Amino acid sequence: MKILTYQKFVKTGMFAIALMTFGITTAQQTAGDSAKEADIQPGVTNLGGSVKVIDNKGTIKYLQSKNGITMLSNTTADVTTTTWQLGGTLTDDTFIDANGNVFGLDGIELVTTELPSTDATTESNHGTGTGYTILVRDEATGATKKLLASDLLQSGQESFTAAAAQVSYPLTGSPVLPAFSQVWVYRNGAKLISNVDYTVSASTVTLVPNTVVPNDWTVYAGDIIEVQYVK
C-alpha cells in the first residue's frame, strides 16, 4: 500500500510540474510577432507595426510606436529583438515641459566655415538646402521655427543729395526702419541728434531743422544726408 501511494504521488507530482512548465512557457514574451491592423483594435490604425506580448496572466497585448518614435525589429538565430528609438514623424503636437530643469543637447557642431542659408524653404527636409538657419521659439504657440540669419540682424545705408529745405527722405525699397535709437542720420558728415534733429516712421526719415540760435540749422541744396540703420 505504501509503494502504491508513493508511485501515485510521483505521478501526480510530475503532472503538476508539467503543468507549471507549460504555464511558464506560455507566459513568456513573444516579441516581434507582427500583428495585423484588425488584430489590434477595430478602427485603429496600425502605425509602424506592433509587437505582440503575453503577460504572466496570459493576457495578449500589443505595443506600438508612433509620434516621432521608430520601432525596428531584427530576427537572428530565432531570437527577435525589437528596438524603439528616436526618429520618425510627429503625428501629434508634442510639448516637453522642462519644469525648471535644464533641457539641452550635447555634441552639437560649431559653425565655423558655413555661410548663412539663402535658399532655405519652409518645412524642408535636411539635404534640400545649403548653409545654416537659426532656430527660434514662437512664444504664442511654443513651436520651434527656423529663421534666416539675414532676418535676425539687418543693416542698411543710403545717402541722398538734398534739395533746398528738403526734410523727407524715404529709403529705397521701403525697408521698415527700427526705433530711432537704431537709426543714425548724418548731414554733410556731421551726426544729427536722434529724435531731436530727425524722426523715423516706417521707411522714411524726416529731418527737423532747428531755428533756435545758436543751434539753428537748415537744409541747403546739395547737402549730403546719409542714413544708417541696424535691426
Q: Which of 86, 115, 143 is the last residue of a domain?
A: 86
- The answer to the question of residue 121 being in a domain is no
Look at 6-15, 100-109, 145-154 and tell me which has the smallest mean pLDDT: 6-15
- The answer to the question of residue 192 being in a domain is yes
Instruction: Report which of residues 120 and 28 the model is more confident about.
Output: 120
CB 84, CB 69: distance < 8 Å: yes
Look at 45-49, 101-105, 206-210 and tell me which has the smallest mean pLDDT: 45-49
- The answer to the question of residue 126 being in a domain is no
- The answer to the question of residue 148 being in a domain is no
**pLDDT tens per residue, range 96-137:** 999 999 999 999 999 898 899 999 999 999 889 999 999 999
Neighbours of 109 (CB within 10 A): 6
> What b/e sequence results for 48-61 when a residue is b if at least 16 CB atoms lie within 10 Å of its CB, and e otherwise?
ebbbbbbeeeeeee
**pLDDT tens per residue, range 66-77:** 888 888 777 777
Look at 34-43, 154-163, 210-219 and tell me which has the smallest mean pLDDT: 34-43
pTM above 0.95, yes or no: no
205: confidence class by pLDDT, cuts 50, 70, 90? very high
pLDDT greater than 60 at residue 53: yes
- The answer to the question of residue 182 being in a domain is yes
Domain with 30 in it: 2-86
Q: Which of 86, 118, 138 is the last residue of a domain?
A: 86
CA atoms within 13 Å, Cβ hemisphere of 35: 22
Look at 85-94, 181-190, 222-231 and tell me which has the smallest mean pLDDT: 85-94
CB 29, CB 54: distance < 8 Å: yes
Q: How far apart are CA 137 and CA 160, in angstroms?
A: 39
Q: Which of 61, 86, 111 is the last residue of a domain?
A: 86
Predicted local confidence at residue 45, as pLDDT: 42
Number of domains in the chain: 2
Predicted local confidence at residue 27, as pLDDT: 33
Predicted local confidence at residue 4, as pLDDT: 46
Q: What is the mean pLDDT of residues 170-175?
A: 94
Residues 6+ positions from 178 with CB-CB distance below 8 Å: 200, 229, 230, 231
Nearest CA to 132 out of 111, 154, 105, 152 is that of 111
